[in-house]
Structure 1
Amino acid sequence: MMMETVVYAREFLFMKELYDKGELGKVQFLKASHQQDMDGWPGYWPGLPPMYYATHCVGPVLGLMRSEAEYVSCFGSGTIREEMHGFYNSPYAVETTHIKFRDSDLSAHIYRSLFDVARQYRESFEVYGSKQSVEWPLIEGRPLVVHTAKRPEPEIPSETESPDYAHLLPEPIRAFTKQGVYDADEHQHLSFTQGGGHGGSHPHLVHAFLDALKNNTQPYPNAVQSANITCVGILAHESAKQGGAVIKLPEFTLLK
């Protein structure tokens, strides 16, 4: 199992619940982003191609319907500082990718930036359905926006606070979906503090892993699904270097 936080975050669980109940209607499109200023991070980060670390935005677009990527096409945009080019032989400030889903009429759009782009930290996920769509807020801490079809135009959008899904967990670990539980820890990783506690995902993903071990079941994402999610980012960067060439996911990343 890959411990991908976003597919266990409360916002994703909220959208997954809407999908599972049929409230979104037919899903028509998905979009996600992960933007972060990584200046000052450890020495292996500078110059990293944005799509090399794309699981936070690939995971939710594939995870909502447990989909697989069939092929990708990616473009690089902009240029980071020249002193960072040599680390990974990559100049791109932003990489933006389209993912074609396997055995589906759907595609998704993801984009990432790590250096020299003015943006507050953002891990976003958006889903557009025929009945309802859900959009991520532009500013951290604001509510999600749910759009409901066929209402009078001013009534289509509504700001919606994502509920917490601690009730899905065993009682002794429910409190750990709240960021305040960790406030006394002086060794918090910057990714946790910037990411607003990763949407309360940590106890959910640990519980899913241990439950899979106990019951001998497959967690999400399992090994093959994790390979599919990860290879999207790796191959997307290869596509960017080739001017947006279409690159197929390898067979070992596809469930039989």
Structure 2
Amino acid sequence: MSEPSGISVAVVGLGFGEDFLPVYLAHPQVREVAVVDTDERRLTTVADRFGVEARYTDVAEMLADDRWDAVHVLVPVPLHADVAVAVLEAGKHCACAVPMALELDDLTRVVEAERASGKRYMMMETTVYGREYRYVRDQLDSGRLGTVTGYRGFHHQNLDGYPEYWRGYPPMKYSTHALAPLLALTGTTVESVVAHGSGTLTEDRRGRFDNPFPAEKGLFTLRGSDVLGEVEMSFFQVARPYIEGYDVHGDRASVEWPADHEGPLVVHDLLPLEEVQPETGLRGRRARTDLVVPPDDVSDLPRELARFVADFEVVPADGGPALHREAAHGGSHPHLVHEFVSAIVEDRPTAIDAPTAAAWTAPGICAHESALAGGARVEVPQFPTGRS
């Protein structure tokens, strides 16, 4: 009898993990899925909803089971590095939510664990797989933007009322959503950073971290590039709705994120120089501004996953009413899952392997160090890829 085709995947942490579960279940190269969560009630509810039989309340028990080839880690951020290392040392491939880790030493641990294990690691950075990034990438590749001359990334989110481990979280240590698009677009890494904290956290928000700042702002210089990246982050005491995005400015055109986070992208095209603008008599080059809804490109997805780039419905296996699910993070989830699964099946590094993930995470860690030091310049370490 032939062996069943495809890989088996365990999803660990069903808070955010439930968003990815239907994608894995639909993937044509995934033969079996397990779920893991320490909350037995949530484990039972989600597993019943999706008809998943394999269930664990203990990560170690699942890792000891040879039945599982790969693990998607969606546990609280302070546990990311330890669980990722445990997954790789157990001889399983590992996908992990952002950020990779909270300290530089832990980034190195994960990089070394991936190399020693021979397995694949992928940091599941949503911003470089969303429809907005794909649109910007296409505009850059086509020449419409010209040369990139400026970048501003931002992530503002109020974490009051979130679980205890978020209290006092240093905003810059979660900066990959705001910074990764720049690094992916330019194909380089951060050389150094100068950052400052802004405001003072109230005592009841301090938590376990060495962080006095509700907001942080940083300037990032890139290796081999004259583009300067500006990033601003806040998790507390900033009165604005959630936004997670970036502006990319070129010498021919620019793309800017919508102020309300949900609207179309704002695209500015620089027009030819007029000696004198006839209506006003002013000089300088004008720009035309358009609003653009970036399209969903599913050309690189299996047909079974195409529906997950937009909002979709889940028909529960336990007979409950249909559930509406949002395609969050720019419809990136099926693209992320497909890249992870494909890298395993094709036996190649993932697009965001451990050295790349470390290079995208380290700048935020160094930025917080700079902010604590009053804006001192901090060099960001390099992480050799060793891709094979």
TM-score (norm 1): 0.90
Residues in 1 aligned to 2:329 and 2:206: alpha-carbon distance in whole angstroms: 30
The residue aligned with 1:33 is 154
- 2:172 aligns with one of 36, 51, 66: 51
Q: Does 1:222 align with 2:353?
A: yes
Q: Does 1:172 align with 2:293?
A: no
The residue aligned with 1:76 is 197
Query: What is the deviation of 1:8?
Result: 0.4
- 1:107 aligns with one of 208, 224, 228: 228
- 2:341 aligns with one of 210, 231, 256: 210
Structure 2: gaps spanning 5 or more residues: 1-121, 278-284, 316-321
The residue aligned with 1:64 is 185
Q: How many residues align?
A: 249
Does the CA-based 8 Å contact 2:131-2:330 persist in structure 1?
yes
Query: What is the deviation of 1:66?
Result: 2.0
The residue aligned with 2:380 is 249
Residues in 2 aligned to 1:148 and 1:114: alpha-carbon distance in whole angstroms: 33
Query: What is the deviation of 1:86?
Result: 4.7
Q: Does 1:6 align with 2:127?
A: yes
Q: Which moved more, 1:175-184 or 1:53-62?
A: 175-184
Q: Does 1:133 align with 2:265?
A: no
Does the CA-based 8 Å contact 2:340-2:350 persist in structure 1?
yes
Closer, same or farther: CA 181–24 of 1 in aligned 2, 3 Å = farther
**Deviation per residue, 1:188-245 (Å, 9 max, x gap):** 8xxxx7xx71110000011111122222333222211110111111110000001111
Does the CA-based 8 Å contact 1:227-1:253 persist in structure 2?
no
The residue aligned with 1:145 is 266
The residue aligned with 2:330 is 199
Structure showing greater radius of gyration is 2
SS of 2:299's equivalent in the other structure is: helix
SS of 1:168's equivalent in the other structure is: coil
1:38 maps to amino acid: L
Residues in 1 aligned to 2:247 and 2:142: alpha-carbon distance in whole angstroms: 17
Closer, same or farther: CA 86–46 of 1 in aligned 2, 3 Å = closer
Query: What is the deviation of 1:115?
Result: 0.9
1:197 maps to amino acid: A
Query: What is the deviation of 1:154?
Result: 7.0
The residue aligned with 1:235 is 366
Does the CA-based 8 Å contact 1:228-1:254 persist in structure 2?
no
**Deviation per residue, 1:138-163 (Å, 9 max, x gap):** 01221111010115877611111111
Does the CA-based 8 Å contact 1:225-1:255 persist in structure 2?
no
Residues in 1 aligned to 2:176 and 2:303: alpha-carbon distance in whole angstroms: 29
The residue aligned with 2:114 is none
Larger RCO of the pair (alpha carbons < 8 Å, separation 6+): 1
**Deviation per residue, 1:21-49 (Å, 9 max, x gap):** 22211111111111101111111001111
Query: What is the deviation of 1:106?
Result: 1.2
Does the CA-based 8 Å contact 2:298-2:306 persist in structure 1?
yes
Q: Which moved more, 1:145-154 or 1:76-85?
A: 145-154
Query: What is the deviation of 1:119?
Result: 1.2
Query: What is the deviation of 1:181?
Result: 3.9
SS of 1:88's equivalent in the other structure is: coil
Residues in 2 aligned to 1:4 and 1:204: alpha-carbon distance in whole angstroms: 11
